[in-house]
């Protein structure tokens, strides 16, 4: 009920190979604060070797063990350091979730001739050239690994499209579909068909590809001992393959319950619900519609109607399937999907995901430790950590029993959680995007005294004889009142 995921990376981390060690060292303190799972960045070797964030995946079976792409370790460390980090996380009562990238390959070892047609980037179903031959970086021989763990070599037969991996002049911006292949119809319909994302696009319709990716998934969980996965670029991958992959990997590991969450980057709640139906509830999804609403609210301030913040979000429609988040590595400034939540709104956003029953919340490294190289006010970054810590304590102690919303004003909303017999504490949250405000909420019993836990107020409040309390809300922020 009170699970909290922690995304332990951001895009601008230093390329010093220290992250796996840092995760292992941080495990005791994060568990003590109330974190129950750690989301690791991609652990596999990327095309830029020790400088690669991990999403430009080169060799899935190289976890920082082989001298490939001018590096043995990955950006985050060596294979042994990864295994120790997973072990440390799970030894302290948390689950380790690994980021898996199965949509594309980048950094092939050899080129091959491929007959292609160019497609319209704005409508990938429209061919805009006659077939012709290009040389593509489509042959992956993995010479540094020399067949260890798998002797499968990726060739032109295993991809259905290419972009920057095409080896010819003036290729920038072009998308080449293999002439005798069709894109999967089981993907997001943006741009006509959004199967192609980057690099060499994996053809999941081939059974040998499906079998190899399943073998890798089984091997990955067996090797690391991790208990869950985050599936990258889910909107671009055949839905039936995602379901097959999860089913077969789980069948191979009956000794553990393999958690899965997908990244389906779309603001359309209908698209997310369709995806969940077609994958038969095999995984949860990040609540991107909620993130976009928070982004908009943080930009508009007092002009945004807070009463609508949860409308048409996954956490409102299907809370058991929703992984809620404020920001992540893709939404932070400087990234292609940048849609950062304004700094002043971050504490409000975290109240909505950490201090309500619905959804499985995820705390972002950048909001807790800061985003390296992204600028910003260090003192406010520290303040976010303080507020998040306070909310984690409140979540663990007070998030029990009936929850009642008081969404009465466009700029001042709140809710109260009244506890139960086993956990009788009461928590009230007041959010304001304008001036200081007061919300009268029903605590359910008289004479209960409340204090504010985030530093927004030093006052003490007391319930009247009728159980009602006039809870104060700070201007442009969040106030969390807990019974004493």
3-state secondary structure of 352: helix
- The whole-angstrom distance between residue 308's C-alpha and the CA centroid of its chain comes to 23
- Supply 177's token pair: 């579909």
Is 263 labeled as catalytic in the residue annotation?
yes
Catalytic residue among 52, 188, 232, 330: 232
- The whole-angstrom distance between residue 238's C-alpha and the CA centroid of its chain comes to 19
How many C-beta neighbours within 10 Å does residue 374 have?
15
**Residue 416 near residue 404 (C-beta atoms within 8 A):** yes
What is the C-alpha separation between 204 and 184, in angstroms, rounded? 8
How many C-beta neighbours within 10 Å does residue 267 have?
17
3-state secondary structure of 434: coil
Is 109 labeled as catalytic in the residue annotation?
no
Q: Residue 110 class from Cβ within 10 Å (0-12 exposed, 13-18 middle, 19+ buried)? A: middle
Torsion of CA 283, 77, 61, 371, to 10 degrees: 40
From residue 470, give the alpha-carbon distance in Å to each of 175, 382, 461, 478: 60, 30, 8, 15
Which stretches within 279-370 are classed as H helix?
A: 288-300, 314-317, 346-354, 365-368
3-state secondary structure of 241: helix
Closest alpha carbon to 318 in 281, 347, 349, 361: 281
What is the C-alpha separation between 136 and 143, in angstroms, rounded? 18
What is the C-alpha separation between 282 and 200, in angstroms, rounded? 27
How many C-beta neighbours within 10 Å does residue 158 have?
21
Catalytic residue among 59, 160, 188, 263: 263
What is the C-alpha separation between 380 and 376, in angstroms, rounded? 8
Question: Active-site positions?
Answer: 232, 263
């Amino acid at each position: 009920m009170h699970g909290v995921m922690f995304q332990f990376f951001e895009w601008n981390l230093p390329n010093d190979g220290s992250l796996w060690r840092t995760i292992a060292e941080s495990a005791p303190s994060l568990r003590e604060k109330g974190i129950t799972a750690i989301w690791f960045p991609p652990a596999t070797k990327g095309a830029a070797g020790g400088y690669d964030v991990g999403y430009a995946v080169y060799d899935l079976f190289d976890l920082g063990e082989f001298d490939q792409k001018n590096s043995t370790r990955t950006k985050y460390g060596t294979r042994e350091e990864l295994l120790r980090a997973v072990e440390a996380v799970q030894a302290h009562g948390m689950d380790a979730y690994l980021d898996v990238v199965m949509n594309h390959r980048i950094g092939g070892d050899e080129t091959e001739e491929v007959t292609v047609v160019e497609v319209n980037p704005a409508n990938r179903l429209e061919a805009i050239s006659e077939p012709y031959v290009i040389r593509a970086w489509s042959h992956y021989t993995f010479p540094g690994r020399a067949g260890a763990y798998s002797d499968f070599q990726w060739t032109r037969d295993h991809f259905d499209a290419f972009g920057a991996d095409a080896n010819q002049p003036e290729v920038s911006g072009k998308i080449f579909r293999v002439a005798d292949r069709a894109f999967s119809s089981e993907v997001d319909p943006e741009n006509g068909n959004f199967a192609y994302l980057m690099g060499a696009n994996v053809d999941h319709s081939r059974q040998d590809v499906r079998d190899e990716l399943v073998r890798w998934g089984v091997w990955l969980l067996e090797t690391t001992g991790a208990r869950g996965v985050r599936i990258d670029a889910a909107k671009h991958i055949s839905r039936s393959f995602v379901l097959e992959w999860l089913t077969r990997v789980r069948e191979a590991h009956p000794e553990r319950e393999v958690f899965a969450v997908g990244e389906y980057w779309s603001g359309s709640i209908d698209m997310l619900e369709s995806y969940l139906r077609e994958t038969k509830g095999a995984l949860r999804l990040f609540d991107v519609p909620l993130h976009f609403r928070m982004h908009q609210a943080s930009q508009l301030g007092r002009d945004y109607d807070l009463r609508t913040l949860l409308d048409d979000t996954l956490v409102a429609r299907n809370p058991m399937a929703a992984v809620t988040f404020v920001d992540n590595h893709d939404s932070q400034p400087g990234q292609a999907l940048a849609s950062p939540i304004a700094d002043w709104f971050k504490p409000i956003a975290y109240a909505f995901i950490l201090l309500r029953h619905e959804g499985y919340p995820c705390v972002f490294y950048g909001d807790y430790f800061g985003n390296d190289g992204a600028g910003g006010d260090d003192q406010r970054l520290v303040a976010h950590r303080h507020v998040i810590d306070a909310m984690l304590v409140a979540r663990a102690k007070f998030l029990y029993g009936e929850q009642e919303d008081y969404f009465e004003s466009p700029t001042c909303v709140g809710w109260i959680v009244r506890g139960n017999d086993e956990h009788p504490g009461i928590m009230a949250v007041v959010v304001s995007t304008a001036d200081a405000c007061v919300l009268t909420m029903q605590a359910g019993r008289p004479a209960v005294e409340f204090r504010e836990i985030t530093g927004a107020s030093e006052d003490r409040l007391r319930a009247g004889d009728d159980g009602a309390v006039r809870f104060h809300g700070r201007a442009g922020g969040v106030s969390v009142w807990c019974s004493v």
